[in-house]
Structure 1
Amino acid sequence: MPQLTVDGATLTYDDEGPRDSAEVPLVLVHGWTANRHRWDHQTAHFAERRRVVRLDLRGHGDSSGAGVRTIAELAADVLALLDHLEIERCVLVGHSMGGMIAQTITLAHPERVERLVLVNSISRMTYSRGRGLLMAASTLVPYKLFVATNIQRAFAPGYPRAEIREYIRASAATPREVVMTLYGAMRAFDVLDRLGEIRTPTLLVHGYHDIQLPVTQMLRMAKACPDAVVRIIDAGHELPVERPAELTAAIDSFVTAPAAA
């Protein structure tokens, strides 16, 4: 596993596919408590014809490091990896928190993103008063219960329980400091009023049954970014693994479509 040291963290990543492809590299960024293997299906498909890079974010998966406080700091890690790999321009794909990272990079460095794909991600978390109080209270329960409850809710009804238990186990292995700090960072993330600045071709793809980040919140993004392509898939929050083939097909169709004039 190749690794890169950035500001005290060791980032583990995969760099696959042909380097001489005429297509720009695809960069995949996973979400909160997850790891780069969320993208196994997409990596296998796209690496047949283009370079594909995916990483474990700081404190996740096989990457070390803690102390990260903001989405912007995670975005800086991704940019450091792209610089290390000499990738000047890419198709940037982010799931959930990874989509927040992707938005941050695109707003700060639009010249580096040829196309943007946001999977089950939002630009601003909006809750009723009751829902906000419930989320705040959830941080007071034992850590493993907090993680298990959030991961269980991420999957649409009917997803195999044995597989969900494996995702819970992997998520609970993420250091508590990382999980809880980034939970707060996601709740504080807000770039909705800046989405109109994004001129990069954008795909918004979301699970219809997502109760973690409801589809209605994604539709606010579509309103703020009217030229974006919107796809709704019959799944929950974990689209990359709940409906991997459908998500891969949606991304493939988007990245291979001719750019609008």
Structure 2
Amino acid sequence: MSVACRFLSSGLLHKATSHISITGCRNSCFNNARMHWIRQIGTKANSTADSARPVTLTYDVFDGKGDSTPLVFLHGLFGSKSNFHSIARSLVQRTGRKVVTVDARNHGTSTHSPIITYEAMTNDLTQLLSQLRIGKCILIGHSMGGKVAMTTALTQPTLVERLVVVDISPAQSGSVTNFPIYIQAMKDVSVPRDVPRSTARRLAEDQLRKHVKERSLRQFLLTNLVEEDGQYSWRINLEAISNHLDDIMNFPEFNTSYEGPTLFLGGTNSAYISSEDYPEIQRLFPCADIQYIPDASHWIHADKPLDFISTVISFLQ
């Protein structure tokens, strides 16, 4: 039995289909609608010239021996490219494919910007793929990274051979998150200068504990605590993230679709992909399959790495 258990739907799709696995792609042409959306990126009411200007992203490359289409991993909010390093090494070993892990703007060691929208992050990724001379890739995005991956596939479909969206949907996700609380908790952390790193982490965790109850989540947030010249701070751009949290929690509107093979992979212990999202998933991604990994939370790749890897490999085959 597959490590990923398919979710059975009750009449959501055609009656002959017992699970949400859609194998027939529509042949409609949406090029005009897609180009119209792209032209609108720089002209929205609250946009600025800088909103569409790409920033420099940092990345790591894990070279494979094969010449198959490379895999590109996009992390979630508060994450970094290192979140997928062990996964990347395993996939290189088992598939022979090149794997690239990327820091999003305002995360990891990538460039900071006051703007953080999915349009901007898609422009960043498109520029990076061009720099790396990757004309086609398989995009794998978790949470916020999944929304970047979806936006890229919908606006630049020729760049995306296949798409894996990890525990997120093309829907508003603010109702299932505590991100505003986490942001404020991180802003409130104060660590004295010139203390050892172990002491700084302990002090920061003690201050986070009041509002971030799960130890694993505190440890995840603490990966962003960095020291420079004796001063401790967060490497992520909390101010920009806070100002654009509504943008991050929402998803752009599209009148087009991505016709390529797509996998939505959720955790059974997570609420980020619900049955209410299925119609929109079907509309935007008509070749989508939705699967769930048992006993996994929002951070599927951390909770069940072997199941995650096996499911991705099965999808690639």
Question: When the two structures are superposed, what TM-score results if normalisation uses the length of structure 1?
Answer: 0.77
Partner AA of 1:219 in structure 2: Y
Which sections of structure 1, spanning at least 5 residues, go unmatched? 1-5, 156-160, 257-261
1:176 corresponds to which residue?
238
Q: How far apart, in 2, do the equivalents of 1:148 and 1:198 lie?
A: 40
1:13 corresponds to 2:59: yes
Question: Per-residue displacement from partner, 1:195-244 (whole Å, max 9, x unpaired)?
Answer: x7110100010011114x24345534444345312210121111121111
1:3 corresponds to which residue?
none
- What's the offset of the Cα at 1:139? 8.4
Partner AA of 2:172 in structure 1: M
Contact in 2 for aligned 1:24/1:91 (Cα 8 Å)? yes
1:53 corresponds to 2:100: yes
**What secondary structure sits across from 1:11 in the alignment?**
coil
More displaced stretch, 115-124 vs 57-66: 57-66
1:254 corresponds to which residue?
315
Distance verdict in 2 for CA 1:248–1:145, change over 3 Å: farther
Partner AA of 2:218 in structure 1: R
Distance verdict in 2 for CA 1:235–1:148, change over 3 Å: farther
- What's the offset of the Cα at 1:182? 4.1
Q: How far apart, in 2, do the equivalents of 1:84 and 1:144 lie?
A: 35
- What's the offset of the Cα at 1:186? 1.8
Residue in structure 1 matching 2:67, options 12, 15, 22: 22
1:66 corresponds to 2:113: yes
Q: How far apart, in 2, do the equivalents of 1:67 and 1:25 lie?
A: 31
Contact in 2 for aligned 1:203/1:230 (Cα 8 Å)? yes
- Alignment map for 1:1-261 (pairs within 5 Å): 9-18=55-64, 21-48=66-93, 49-125=96-172, 131=175, 138=181, 141-144=184-187, 161=215, 163-171=216-224, 173=234, 174-191=236-253, 194=255, 197-211=257-271, 213-224=272-283, 225-233=285-293, 234-256=295-317
Distance verdict in 2 for CA 1:117–1:85, change over 3 Å: same
Contact in 2 for aligned 1:15/1:54 (Cα 8 Å)? yes
Structure with more contact order per residue of length (Cα contacts < 8 Å, sep ≥ 6) = 2
Alignment: residue pair count? 235
More displaced stretch, 62-71 vs 43-52: 62-71
Distance verdict in 2 for CA 1:217–1:30, change over 3 Å: farther
Q: How far apart, in 2, do the equivalents of 1:13 and 1:179 lie?
A: 20
Task: Name whichever structure is richer in helix by fraction.
Answer: 1
1:158 corresponds to which residue?
none
Q: How far apart, in 1, do the equivalents of 2:67 and 2:246 lie?
A: 40
Q: How far apart, in 2, do the equivalents of 1:169 and 1:126 lie?
A: 23
Distance verdict in 2 for CA 1:65–1:220, change over 3 Å: same
Contact in 2 for aligned 1:14/1:55 (Cα 8 Å)? yes
**What secondary structure sits across from 1:47 in the alignment?**
helix
Tell me the percent identity. 26
Q: How far apart, in 2, do the equivalents of 1:139 and 1:245 lie?
A: 29
If you compute each CA radius of gyration, which structure gives the higher value, 1 or 2? 2
- What's the offset of the Cα at 1:68? 2.0
Q: How far apart, in 1, do the equivalents of 2:273 and 2:173 lie?
A: 10
Distance verdict in 2 for CA 1:148–1:247, change over 3 Å: farther
Contact in 2 for aligned 1:201/1:228 (Cα 8 Å)? yes
